[in-house]
Amino acid sequence: MLEFVAKTPEQQRFYDSQLKFQRDEAARNTFARKEALREGREEDVLLGRIATFEELLGIK
């Protein structure tokens, strides 16, 4: 069960800034993971195209 504790305005600002930092960090991490997955998919597509062209050209 959560207990609400009276905070001074300074304590509340500190709490709010810490909470904002944590949420911002989580959002940055989520974005970075999604971006890495997107880049990985693009790389896979390019590698697939290269392999197809190599086969067509008889390189491999």
Amino acid found at 41 = R
CA distances from 48 to 3, 5, 8, 55 (A): 56, 58, 60, 11
CA distances from 25 to 20, 38, 48, 53 (A): 8, 20, 34, 42
Whether pLDDT at 12 is above 70: yes
Q: Give CA–CA dist 27/24, Å, rounded.
A: 5
Terminal-residue alpha carbon distance, the chain = 65
Q: For position 16, what pLDDT does the model report? A: 94
Average pLDDT over residues 7-35: 94
Entry pTM: 0.61
